[in-house]
């Protein structure tokens, strides 16, 4: 290929790198139907079973290596492979084919696995579609073992730095990469939540997915630049392009340095207003990242992730260990544990719940917990017990009014009485807050504020419920506007009700981690912002570069303005003027 060519995809991991491309071609196994004489059928069944054992050992080994070199979260990805490998329905179907049709194990396995992959690849659920990639990965490994072939390219032993380009990058290939030499990833397919993307972010190397058929158009040895900010792969970049990216690299390096310098500093505006910056976490493994990014505790522990992707409900003891671990590691910093928010788009596979017409308006979060007192009790006891080991606070999701708050509090009191009788320690003064994420809760915030110790505004849901725009439906994403005047008025109402009653109000939805919108929230009087650990540095950076007076002026303008886009434009102006280096991509 001659001359510069730009491929556009989806940016999934920030950063820029340049170098030679290494194209990983998909290993295509040609599987033909091989029929067996009667007396070989049972030995073929045995061969298949031995292959499953061997594959299991290999995966466990890769998982062990990943756990040692990356983190437990990345290693967990291989649990999905192990589960699929033990799927009785799939295995029985393969055995049945071998026995009834008298065909080779590779032909039987390939036939069944391909059917599963096709079914998964066609479902209307991004998560499940991405599991098709897991199954393909697993299937290739099983076939390689049955056919006794080696990987076409041993990515563990690369000899020079390269940008890996492939159709897709499987988690097991990713885990085996020789990281010294991998500058970045570029793939034809994939989404923001694909495992390749998750791993790239955790490896902190640039990655772009969804580049269509780039792996077919490019050849190993081509020279390219990968831009993980804007989602482009630029092949044969001109001197001008390289110069521009050289400038960008300098800017980003100096921004990175500035962000690191303030990691241990408070989030305080130029005129002295301190904002509490906390982290949103999903499980106990996120604690390291909370500390690394200098968060002042956890503002939202989404406990439902302990309940999904598994066969058995976590009991009181298991939950206690998870909550205790976080509380003890971050002590004396506060850890706000949110009670279970199942339902909506988060389901536990083992709870066979009836499908609902409107899951976001249905049996979700506190509604579900109040109807399942035993399940709720186990969690409340686990949280109370963990409160003896650190600075634990608790909040309820999806409170719609006083009644739910009172009922939940009554259950907490019951659990406290039990624990006292059992002489199990807990914090008698454990603070309880309410999430404000339903418009009705914002409208009765004054009544709620008299009965809780804090508010945490769940803007993700507050926006969806106020504007009647499903947060997961891209067809109505144009209506999902954080700067809609209705949203800002509800936030203001909530914050004012909190302050009038001597309690604080935070925001833990995605807007809290958005550097363009955070100043507006500060101007509306929000006391705490809670966001994913990696974005905390940038939010702190902008807070330290604005004045509270400017933020208030922005909020005053926004509260009397009728247009969401005009409000957004003003937010953008202030952010650009205050922290231009955050916007130089
Ligand atoms: C929210 O709704 O803003 C929130 C933080 O909760 P979740 O995203 O888990 O629903
Ligand atoms: Mg929510």
DSSP 61-92: HHHHHHHHHS-HHHHHHHHHHHHHHT-HHHHH
How high is the pLDDT of residue 210? 87
Is residue 199 classed as helix, strand or coil in its secondary structure?
A: helix
Which residues fall within 8 angstroms of residue 285, CB to CB, at 6 or more apart? Answer: 71, 72, 73
How much of the chain, in percent, has pLDDT values that exceed 90?
61
Reported residue count of the chain is 585
Closest Cα to atom 1 of ligand 1: 458
Q: Is the CB of 293 within 6 Å of ligand 1?
A: no
How much of the chain, in percent, has pLDDT values that exceed 70?
91
Q: Is the CB of 286 within 6 Å of ligand 1?
A: no
Q: Is the CB of 508 within 6 Å of ligand 1?
A: yes
Q: What is the mean pLDDT of the chain?
A: 89
Q: Is the CB of 304 within 6 Å of ligand 1?
A: no
Averaged pLDDT for residues 505-527: 95
Reference 294, options 534, 581, 513; nearest CA is 534
Using the mean position of ligand 2's atoms as its centre, give its distance from the Cα of residue 105 in Å. 48
pLDDT digits (tens, 9 = 90+) for 46-82: 999 999 998 888 888 777 777 766 666 667 778 888 8
Which residues fall within 8 angstroms of residue 253, CB to CB, at 6 or more apart? Answer: none
Averaged pLDDT for residues 256-281: 95
Nearest-Å Rg of the Cα atoms of the chain is 26
Q: Is the CB of 513 within 6 Å of ligand 1?
A: no
Higher pLDDT, 554 or 311: 554
Higher pLDDT, 94 or 535: 94
d(CA 277, CA 282): 17
How high is the pLDDT of residue 571? 98
Atom of ligand 1 at shortest range from CA of 458: 3
Using the mean position of ligand 2's atoms as its centre, give its distance from the Cα of residue 397 in Å. 7
Higher pLDDT, 150 or 411: 411
How high is the pLDDT of residue 62? 77
Using the mean position of ligand 1's atoms as its centre, give its distance from the Cα of residue 458 in Å. 5
How high is the pLDDT of residue 76? 74
The yes-or-no verdict on residue 262 having pLDDT over 90 is: yes
Most ligand 1 atoms within 8 A of CB, residue of 301, 307, 339, 341 to mutate: 341
Higher pLDDT, 411 or 284: 411
How high is the pLDDT of residue 376? 98
Using the mean position of ligand 1's atoms as its centre, give its distance from the Cα of residue 500 in Å. 25
Averaged pLDDT for residues 378-385: 98
Shortest-distance ligand to the CA of residue 460: 1
Closest Cα to atom 6 of ligand 1: 458
Using the mean position of ligand 2's atoms as its centre, give its distance from the Cα of residue 142 in Å. 41
Looking up tokens 């923001």, which residue turns up?
A: 192
Atom of ligand 1 at shortest range from CA of 508: 5
Shortest-distance ligand to the CA of residue 508: 1
Residue 172's pLDDT band (boundaries 50, 70, 90)?
Answer: low
Residue 34's pLDDT band (boundaries 50, 70, 90)?
Answer: confident
Asked if 102 contacts 52 with a C-beta cutoff of 8 angstroms, the reply is no
How high is the pLDDT of residue 572? 97
Most ligand 1 atoms within 8 A of CB, residue of 299, 345, 364, 435 to mutate: 435
Residue 33's pLDDT band (boundaries 50, 70, 90)?
Answer: confident
The yes-or-no verdict on residue 183 having pLDDT over 90 is: yes
Residue 29's pLDDT band (boundaries 50, 70, 90)?
Answer: low
Closest Cα to atom 9 of ligand 1: 302
83-87, 173-177, 396-400, 427-431 — which is least confidently predicted? 173-177
How high is the pLDDT of residue 429? 96
The yes-or-no verdict on residue 177 having pLDDT over 90 is: no
The yes-or-no verdict on residue 153 having pLDDT over 60 is: no
Reference 559, options 478, 483, 495; nearest CA is 483
To the question of pTM greater than 0.85 for the whole model, the response is no
pLDDT digits (tens, 9 = 90+) for 273-320: 999 999 998 888 889 989 999 999 999 999 988 887 666 789 999 999
The yes-or-no verdict on residue 127 having pLDDT over 90 is: no
Could you list the beta-strand ranges (E) of 113-227: 162-166, 182-187, 207-209, 223-227
Higher pLDDT, 198 or 46: 46
Averaged pLDDT for residues 319-333: 97
Using the mean position of ligand 2's atoms as its centre, give its distance from the Cα of residue 468 in Å. 14
Q: Is the CB of 338 within 6 Å of ligand 1?
A: no
Q: Which of 81, 195, 293, 484 is catalytic?
A: 195
182-191, 228-237, 462-471, 550-559 — which is least confidently predicted? 182-191
Q: Is the CB of 460 within 6 Å of ligand 1?
A: yes
Two tokens at 486?
């209705």
Residues 436-472 as b or e (16 or more Cβ within 10 Å = b) = bbbbebbebbeebbeebbbbbbbbbbbbbbbbebbbe
Higher pLDDT, 213 or 423: 423
C-alpha separations of 230 from 127, 182, 187, 212, 239 in Å: 24, 20, 15, 16, 19
Q: Which of 51, 369, 508, 571 is catalytic?
A: 508
Most ligand 1 atoms within 8 A of CB, residue of 306, 460, 463, 466 to mutate: 460
The yes-or-no verdict on residue 197 having pLDDT over 70 is: no
User: Cα 468 to the chain's mean position, in Å?
Assistant: 24
Using the mean position of ligand 2's atoms as its centre, give its distance from the Cα of residue 23 in Å. 41
Using the mean position of ligand 2's atoms as its centre, give its distance from the Cα of residue 510 in Å. 10
Using the mean position of ligand 2's atoms as its centre, give its distance from the Cα of residue 457 in Å. 9
C-alpha separations of 467 from 232, 459, 484, 572 in Å: 34, 12, 9, 22
d(CA 440, CA 456): 15
Catalytic annotation present for 350: no
Catalytic annotation present for 508: yes
d(CA 551, CA 569): 14
pLDDT digits (tens, 9 = 90+) for 419-448: 999 999 999 999 999 999 999 999 999 999
Two tokens at 115?
């059917």
Phi, then psi, of 435 in degrees rounded to 5: -80, 140
d(CA 317, CA 320): 5
The yes-or-no verdict on residue 25 having pLDDT over 90 is: no
The yes-or-no verdict on residue 329 having pLDDT over 60 is: yes
Closest Cα to atom 8 of ligand 1: 460
Shortest-distance ligand to the CA of residue 340: 1
Q: Is the CB of 58 within 6 Å of ligand 1?
A: no
Q: Is the CB of 538 within 6 Å of ligand 1?
A: no
34-43, 133-142, 260-269, 388-397 — which is least confidently predicted? 133-142
d(CA 344, CA 226): 37
């Amino acid at each position: 290929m001659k001359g510069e060519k730009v491929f556009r995809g989806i940016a999934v991991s920030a950063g820029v790198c340049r170098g030679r491309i290494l194209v990983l071609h998909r290993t295509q196994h040609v599987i033909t139907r091989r029929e067996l004489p009667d007396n070989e059928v049972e030995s073929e069944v045995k061969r298949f079973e031995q292959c499953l054992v061997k594959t299991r050992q290999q995966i466990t080994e890769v998982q062990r290596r990943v756990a040692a070199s990356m983190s437990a979260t990345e290693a967990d990805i291989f649990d999905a492979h192990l589960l699929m490998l033990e799927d009785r329905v799939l295995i029985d179907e393969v055995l049945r084919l071998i026995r009834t049709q008298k065909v080779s194990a590779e032909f039987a396995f390939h036939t069944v696995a391909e059917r599963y992959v096709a079914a998964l690849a066609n479902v209307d659920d991004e998560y499940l579609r991405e599991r098709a990639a897991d199954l393909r990965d697993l299937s290739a490994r099983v076939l390689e073992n049955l056919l006794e072939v080696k990987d076409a390219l041993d990515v563990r032993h690369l000899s020079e730095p390269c940008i890996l380009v492939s159709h897709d990058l499987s988690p097991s290939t990713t885990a085996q990469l020789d990281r010294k030499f991998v500058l970045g990833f570029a793939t034809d397919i994939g989404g923001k939540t694909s495992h390749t993307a998750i791993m790239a972010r955790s490896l902190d190397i640039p990655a772009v997915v969804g580049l269509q058929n780039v792996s077919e158009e490019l050849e190993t040895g081509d020279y390219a630049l990968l831009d993980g900010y804007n989602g482009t792969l630029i092949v044969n970049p001109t001197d001008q392009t390289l110069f521009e990216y050289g400038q960008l690299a300098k800017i980003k390096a100096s921004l990175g340095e500035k962000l690191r310098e303030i990691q241990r500093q408070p989030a305080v505006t130029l005129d002295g207003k301190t904002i509490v910056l906390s982290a949103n976490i999903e499980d106990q493994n996120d604690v390291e990242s909370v500390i690394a990014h200098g968060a002042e505790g956890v503002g939202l522990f989404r406990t439902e992730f302990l309940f999904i992707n598994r066969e058995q409900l976590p009991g009181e003891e298991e939950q206690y260990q998870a909550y205790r671990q976080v509380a003890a590691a971050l002590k004396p910093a506060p850890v706000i544990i949110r009670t279970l928010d199942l339902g909506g788009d988060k389901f536990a596979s083992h709870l066979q719940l009836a499908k609902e017409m409107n899951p976001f308006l249905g049996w979700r979060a506190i509604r579900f917990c109040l109807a399942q007192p035993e399940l709720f009790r186990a969690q409340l006891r686990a949280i109370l017990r963990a409160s003896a080991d650190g600075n634990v606070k608790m909040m309820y999701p999806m409170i719609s009014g006083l009644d739910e708050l009172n009922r939940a509090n009554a259950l907490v009191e019951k659990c406290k009485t039990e624990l006292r009788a059992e002489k199990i320690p807990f914090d008698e003064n454990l603070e309880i807050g309410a999430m404000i994420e339903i418009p009705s809760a914002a409208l009765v915030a004054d009544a709620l504020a008299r009965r809780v110790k804090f508010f945490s505004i769940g803007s993700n849901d507050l926006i969806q419920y106020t504007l009647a725009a499903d947060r997961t439906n891209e067809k109505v994403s144009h209506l999902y506007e954080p700067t809609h005047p209705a949203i800002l008025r509800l936030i203001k109402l909530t914050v004012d009700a909190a302050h009038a009653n001597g309690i604080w109000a935070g925001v833990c939805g995605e807007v809290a981690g958005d550097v363009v919108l955070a100043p507006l929230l500060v101007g509306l009087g929000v006391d705490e912002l809670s966001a994913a650990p990696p974005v905390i540095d940038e939010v702190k950076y902008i807070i330290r570069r604005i004045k509270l007076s400017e933020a208030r002026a922005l909020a005053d303008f926004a509260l009397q303005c009728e247009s969401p886009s005009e409000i957004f434009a003003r937010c953008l102006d202030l952010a650009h003027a205050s922290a231009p280096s955050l916007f130089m991509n």
